[in-house]
Amino acid sequence: MKIAVVGSLNMDMVVTAPRIPLKGETITGQALHFVPGGKGANQAVALGRLGADVSMFGCVGDDDFGRQLIENLAENSVQAAQVRTLQGATTGVAMITVGDGDNSIVVVPGANGLVDRPYVDSIKEVLLQSQLVIVQLEIPLDTASYVIDLCHQAGISILLNPAPAQKLPADLIEKTTFLTPNEHEAAIVFADFGDYRELLRRYPEKLIITQGSAGASFATQDGEVHQIPASPATVVDTTGAGDTFNAALAYAWSQGRTLEKALVFANVAAGLSTEKFGAQGGMPTLAEVMARLS
């Protein structure tokens, strides 16, 4: 199955520190690292590591970061021919602080904010050759909606990872095959978020709510809520765990696993991803996931 990721590419500037500083506080950190990131590129790289047939769609600026991010895709078996370099734009960056098993992130979109309908029209022919398309919200919502409309009309399966979260129109949600917010994102996406189990029952086998160390939940058509426990891990850096989860879920489902089994696979992959530094540093290969699963 051909999988496409339409989304962001960022250079992550990661400061390691003993903990995340409080509002208005200055603390001393340990080191500064520049590593490839961006929710879209992270998900594409995670798919590449797992051995999927994956293409990345998005934009970078005409600068060194942009060139490095495109090279990084190729090094991780991601087809990057459709990634556009925009003259006069800067590549997206994320300022990340990692400390005490947690992180905080501020993203400056740069070229990601310029991924627009004309760009999508220019890559449409290639995009519509995919059987599964994955979208996040680090590109404009108008563009994400346009991609989802096109893919829905073409009968292509769609996984929407609504991160960073915003309220979504009901018809957009209807067009997705899978919607994968975490608990905080679900509260923003759904204005009437109450009991998460009721919400899951409204979107059986479509809505998957990730719950960090508690795993991930979904409801079956008969209204039963299933919680798939997280996989134990020795955590170094949680950045990119959600991206690995989404990519591994898409991969496992595209390989014919049931949703429940795909979520077990995704939780194991996400757990493994936290055991090394950087959003992409710990993303596992298929062999690594299979070894941990057994």
**Catalytic residue set:** 243
Candidate segments 32-40, 151-159, 183-191, 227-235, binder of ligand RIB by CB under 6 A: 32-40
Q: Given its phi and psi angles, is residue 190 left (phi above 0), alpha (psi -120 to 50 degrees) or beta?
A: beta
Under the binding rule (CB under 6 A), the answer on residue 97 touching ligand RIB is: no
Full strand arrangement of the beta sheet holding 31-37: 31-37, 10-16, 92-99, 102-108
Candidate segments 54-62, 120-128, 214-222, 239-247, binder of ligand RIB by CB under 6 A: 239-247
Helix, strand, or coil here: 55? Answer: strand
Min CB(125)–ligand RIB separation in Å: 28
Q: Which residue type sits at 191?
A: A
Under the binding rule (CB under 6 A), the answer on residue 94 touching ligand RIB is: yes
Six token digits for residue 1: 């199955």
**Which residue intervals of the chain are DSSP H helices?**
39-50, 64-75, 117-127, 141-153, 170-175, 183-189, 196-202, 241-254, 259-273, 286-293
Question: Which of 66, 242, 282, 284 forms a contact with ligand RIB (CB under 6 A)?
Answer: 242
Candidate segments 37-45, 118-126, 150-158, 202-210, binder of ligand RIB by CB under 6 A: 37-45
Residue that is written with structure tokens 């129109």 in the block: 169
Number of H helices, E strands in the chain: 10, 15
Q: Given its phi and psi angles, is residue 185 left (phi above 0), alpha (psi -120 to 50 degrees) or beta?
A: alpha
Under the binding rule (CB under 6 A), the answer on residue 176 touching ligand RIB is: no
Measured from the CB atom, the residue of 243 and 288 that comes closer to ligand RIB is 243
Under the binding rule (CB under 6 A), the answer on residue 61 touching ligand RIB is: no
Six token digits for residue 176: 């997705």
Instruction: Indicate if the alpha-carbon torsion angle 82, 73, 130, 112 is positive or negative.
Output: negative
Under the binding rule (CB under 6 A), the answer on residue 239 touching ligand RIB is: yes
Alpha carbon 209 to its chain's center: 14
Measured from the CB atom, the residue of 156 and 247 that comes closer to ligand RIB is 247
Question: Which of 39, 49, 152, 201 forms a contact with ligand RIB (CB under 6 A)?
Answer: 39
Candidate segments 24-32, 62-70, 236-244, 255-263, binder of ligand RIB by CB under 6 A: 236-244
Under the binding rule (CB under 6 A), the answer on residue 201 touching ligand RIB is: no
Question: Which of 138, 185, 237, 288 forms a contact with ligand RIB (CB under 6 A)?
Answer: 138
In angstroms, the Cα distances linking 90 to 129, 136, 265 are 29, 20, 36
Please say whether the beta carbons of 32 and 114 come within 8 A.
no
Min CB(9)–ligand RIB separation in Å: 8
CB-closest chain residue to ligand RIB = 37
Six token digits for residue 7: 């989304």
Question: Which of 240, 271, 282, 284 forms a contact with ligand RIB (CB under 6 A)?
Answer: 240
Residue that is written with structure tokens 């893919």 in the block: 151
Under the binding rule (CB under 6 A), the answer on residue 157 touching ligand RIB is: no
Min CB(92)–ligand RIB separation in Å: 7
Question: Which of 185, 237, 243, 288 forms a contact with ligand RIB (CB under 6 A)?
Answer: 243
Binding site for ligand RIB (CB under 6 A): 8, 10, 12, 37-39, 42, 94, 105, 107, 138, 239-240, 242-243, 279
